[in-house]
């Protein structure tokens, strides 16, 4: 179950709440997604678990709110925080700069401190009683310690600046959340189903297969289907990153989530909402942050013990300074500086936020990366292997030659007999041959399809085979045998994608080597390779041989290998590679599941674009880590030797956190240098064929 939570102001607080939720008897397992603002949990009694989670959240995070129903956001708490912050500052100025009796000073000072930091103090105590310590305790100790040694102004300024910093952090984080929410804000709210003479407005989940829906200008297509009436321009930007409208007409397939710009479409439903493209994309985006990179996981692990370590180091600093100066107040003051500057917010917020922004930027461009671990791996790729059909080529074959080797059979006879067997196959070559027949294909007996060979069948008491038996034939050739005697063959040709050469060139500029792995024969493979200028060609490979080739490359030192494919039998290779790229959301579902990155619109140029976004995101992650570490180490050193005071330390801490957050957002707005070349001709998607491991020259393609 998943419930929404608002008002969490730091990832460490979220982690502490998560740990305590997992201690509840009614909860089996719980996880808080800080950036997306939800709690996901498993329980035998959901109602009891929700009640206990709500109560625990009120105790540990008084400013957080569990949202169980849709409604307007409650901004009252933020307004109250801002008022108390202002009132606390006024009280603090009065008590510090206006002469008054001691009792009144302490009353106003205490009220000022409580107004400025009541949440911080409360959470520090509540979590400490639960056995958890975090940065709230560091700040609380600093305020109490500064007050104890008479540094009243610094005590108030520490909590004031810390609270102001939290507000700024919240504003920056909320901005990033809103920006990323826009990327997933393309879920269709309704659909209009035609029922006889009536039009019924329903939720997308209520639509059934073969229903007819009508979509008018400005509306989103709710589910995947095929146009049965009408034509219109579609806005696919939220799905594929494609900025130009795409014209669709009768008998063409359309994707859910697309917006109809003009015209009216009547669509026959091919997939229910759960299996539709828009739901796949939303699920991919929502689960992406669950798969974390090593850097993100490391930061998350060290922050668990970070606060305790900082307190111990502060005590050590206090002891060293006291041993040197023999002045306890000075030693305590410098130890408190250590506590203030060591708050881990800059690391704990900026690193996951940067990855989150990078994943959001990629999805905005139609590149669905399933986690920051794959984003990191993508940034390190130095070798990318391509399947040929459907990746470097369109997968749309055309017949260029039909040859009969028996005088009793014409070219049309060869095409007809081959089509009889191919009519039941899902292979792209088979579809081309079957659809090329002008005569109606008849029923056959004992149909059998053998992977890597072809199809066997009986027709009019004769045994036929359509596929590949003869070695070293030039081109992509489908042979026809009758009772083991060859009747003839059909030569086909696959169109090379116009954008393939641009993509390979872009990869070379990124210092990524390229290789083609194909089941097609060497002459066809060499023709494609020369056209796109790929570095290496391996032809005549069965799917398992591609797998072995990848395993061999991965066993070699320093190889980070990507594999690009789309067919059913690409799934093992997609899983094995460091990064598996699946071409298109219409591809085989097994390939989509096995891959690490899905290219939504089947544009091969998105691969170098994915690498560029990944490298840029990773660069910002390390900028934030190194910048934050440098500032903190500098002020720790200066504070320990007495050059800077506590105010400088808290300004540096708040400042570096806000700057790191703002820097993280650059990963969301980054415009890639790699320009996408748009195809000038409209090609029919090869993905309709649900490619299986079949036969012919390409064997699986």
pLDDT tens, position by position, 582-623 = 887 766 667 777 888 988 878 899 999 999 999 999 999 999
Q: Where in the chain is the domain with CATH 2.70.150.10?
A: 191-222+224-270
In this structure, the number of other CB atoms found within 10 A of the CB of residue 539 comes to 20
Closest C-alpha among 504, 493, 534 to residue 389: 493
**Two structure tokens written together for 188:** 């269709």
**What number of H helices and E strands is found in the chain?**
22, 26
Low-confidence spans in the chain with pLDDT less than 70: 9-12, 35-36, 69-77, 169, 172-186, 240-243, 285-293, 296, 299-301, 303-304, 567-568, 586-589, 674-701
Distance CA 277, CA 601 (A): 11
Instruction: Tell me how far apart the alpha carbons of residues 259 and 279 are, in angstroms, rounded to a whole number.
Output: 15
CATH of domain 191-222+224-270: 2.70.150.10
Instruction: Find the farthest-apart pair of alpha carbons in the chain and give their distance in angstroms, rounded.
Output: 119
- The model carries a pTM of 0.71
User: In whole angstroms, what is the distance from residue 149 CA to residue 159 CA?
Assistant: 16
Which are the catalytic amino acids? 387
**Spatial distance between the Cα atoms of 593 and 597, rounded to a whole number of angstroms:** 10
Given phi > 0 = left and psi -120 to 50 = alpha, else beta, which region is 317? alpha
* Other C-beta atoms lying within 10 Å of the C-beta of residue 309: 11
- DSSP 8-state assignment for residue 69: S
Q: What are phi and psi of 480, to 5 degrees?
A: -120, 125
Q: What is the pLDDT of residue 47?
A: 87
The DSSP secondary structure of 648-676, one letter per residue, reads HHHHHHHHHHHHHHHHHTHHHHPPPSSPP
Give the whole-angstrom CA distance, residue 328 versus residue 339: 16
Q: Are 250 and 229 in contact (CB under 8 A)?
A: yes
Q: Please, what sign has the CA dihedral across residues 308, 312, 314, 315?
A: positive
The third-level CATH classification (topology) of the domain covering 394-496 is Calcium-transporting ATPase, cytoplasmic domain N (3.40.1110)
Q: Quickly tell me which residue has 């072995």 as its tokens.
A: 548
300 CB-contact burial (10 Å; exposed 0-12 / middle 13-18 / buried 19+): middle
d(CA 354, CA 352): 5
**CA atoms lying within 13 Å on the CB side of residue 344:** 23
Rounded Cα distance between 576 and 562, Å, is: 9
Question: Whose CA is closest to 646, among 347, 332, 344, 311?
Answer: 332
Cβ neighbors of 624 (< 8 A, separation 6 or more) are 346, 347, 350, 351, 354, 660, 663, 664
User: Closest Cα to residue 514, out of 699, 420, 382?
Assistant: 382
Residue reference for tokens 């504003």: 171
- One DSSP character per residue, 361-392 reads HHHHTTEEE--HHHHHHHHT--EEEEEIIIII
Q: Using CA atoms, how far apart are residues 289 and 611, in angstroms rounded to an integer?
A: 18
Please provide the DSSP assignment of 625-637 as one string. HHHHHHHHHHHHH
396 near 684, Cβ under 8 Å? yes
Report the DSSP beta bridge partners of residue 401. 491
Those residues whose C-beta lies under 8 Å from the C-beta of residue 234, and which sit 6 or more positions away, are 221, 245, 246, 247, 248, 254, 258, 259, 260, 261
Between CA 424 and CA 449 the distance in angstroms is 9
Among 3.40.718.10, 3.30.70.100, 3.30.450.20, 3.40.50.300, what is the CATH number of 2-74?
3.30.70.100
Q: DSSP string covering 132-180, please?
A: ---HHHHHHHHHHHHHHTT-HHHHHHHHHHHHHHHHHHHHHHHHHHHHH
Cα gap 19→281, rounded to integer Å: 30
Positions of CATH 3.30.70.100 in the chain: 2-74
């Amino acid at each position: 179950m998943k419930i929404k939570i608002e008002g969490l102001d730091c990832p460490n607080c979220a982690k502490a709440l998560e740990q305590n939720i997992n201690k509840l008897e009614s909860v089996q397992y719980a996880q808080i997604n800080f950036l997306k603002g939800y709690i996901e949990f498993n329980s035998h009694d959901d109602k009891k678990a929700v009640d206990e989670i709500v109560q625990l959240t009120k105790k540990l995070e008084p400013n957080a709110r569990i949202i169980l129903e849709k409604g307007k956001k409650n901004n009252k708490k933020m307004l109250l925080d801002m008022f108390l912050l202002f009132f606390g500052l006024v009280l603090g100025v009065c008590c510090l700069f206006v002469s008054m009796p001691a009792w009144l000073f302490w009353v106003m000072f205490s009220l000022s401190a409580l107004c400025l930091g009541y949440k911080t103090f409360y959470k520090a105590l509540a979590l400490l009683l639960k056995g958890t310590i975090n940065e709230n305790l560091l700040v609380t100790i600093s305020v109490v310690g500064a007050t104890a040694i008479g540094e009243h102004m610094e005590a108030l300024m520490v909590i004031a600046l810390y609270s102001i910093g939290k507000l700024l952090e919240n504003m920056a984080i909320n901005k990033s959340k809103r920006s990323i929410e826009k990327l997933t804000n393309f879920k269709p709210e309704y659909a209009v189903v035609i029922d006889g003479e009536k039009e019924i407005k329903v939720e997308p989940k209520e639509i059934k297969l073969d229903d007819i829906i009508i979509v008018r200008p400005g509306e989103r297509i709710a589910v995947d289907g095929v146009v049965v009436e009408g034509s219109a321009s579609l806005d696919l930007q939220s799905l594929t990153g494609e900025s130009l409208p795409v014209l669709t007409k009768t008998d063409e397939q359309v994707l859910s989530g697309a917006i109809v710009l003009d015209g009216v479409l009547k669509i026959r439903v091919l997939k229910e909402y759960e299996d539709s493209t828009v739901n796949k994309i939303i699920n991919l985006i929502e689960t992406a942050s669950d798969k974390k990179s090593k850097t993100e996981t490391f930061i998350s692990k060290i922050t668990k013990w970070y606060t305790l370590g900082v307190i111990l180091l502060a005590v050590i600093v206090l002891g060293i300074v006291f041993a040197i100066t023999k002045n306890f107040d000075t030693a305590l003051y410098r130890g408190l500086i250590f506590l203030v500057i060591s708050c881990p917010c800059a690391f704990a917020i900026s690193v996951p936020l940067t990855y989150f922004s990078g994943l959001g930027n990629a999805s905005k461009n139609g590149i669905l990366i399933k986690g920051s671990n794959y984003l990191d791996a993508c940034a390190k790729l130095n070798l990318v292997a391509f399947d040929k059909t459907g990746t470097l080529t369109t997968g749309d074959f055309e017949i260029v030659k039909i040859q009969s080797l028996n005088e009793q059979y014409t070219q049309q006879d060869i095409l007809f007999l081959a089509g009889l067997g191919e009519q039941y196959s899902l292979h792209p070559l088979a579809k081309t041959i079957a659809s090329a027949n002008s005569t109606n294909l008849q029923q056959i007996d004992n149909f059998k399809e053998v992977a890597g060979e072809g199809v066997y069948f009986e027709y009019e008491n004769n045994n036929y085979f359509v596929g590949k038996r003869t070695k070293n034939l030039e081109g992509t050739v489908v042979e026809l045998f009758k009772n083991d005697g060859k009747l003839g063959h059909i030569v086909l040709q696959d169109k090379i994608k116009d954008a393939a050469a641009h993509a390979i060139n872009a990869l070379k500029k990124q210092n990524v080597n390229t290789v083609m792995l194909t089941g097609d024969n060497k002459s066809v493979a060499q023709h494609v390779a020369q056209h796109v200028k790929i570095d290496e060609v391996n032809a005549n490979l069965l799917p398992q041989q591609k797998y072995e080739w990848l395993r061999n490359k991965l066993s070699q030192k320093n190889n980070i290998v990507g594999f690009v494919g789309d067919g059913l039998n690409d799934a093992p290779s997609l899983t094995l590679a460091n990064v598996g790229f699946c071409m298109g959301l219409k591809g085989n579902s097994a390939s989509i599941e096995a891959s690490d990155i899905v290219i939504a619109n089947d544009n091969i140029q998105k691969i170098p674009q994915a690498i560029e976004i990944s490298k840029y995101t990773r660069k910002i992650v390390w900028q934030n880590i190194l910048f934050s570490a440098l500032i903190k180490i500098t002020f720790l050193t200066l504070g320990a030797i007495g050059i800077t005071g506590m105010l400088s330390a808290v300004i540096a801490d708040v400042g570096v956190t806000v700057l790191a957050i703002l820097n993280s957002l650059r990963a969301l707005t980054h415009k890639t240098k790699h320009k996408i070349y748009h195809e000038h001709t409209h090609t029919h998607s090869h993905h309709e064929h649900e490619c299986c491991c079949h036969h012919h020259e390409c064997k699986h393609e």
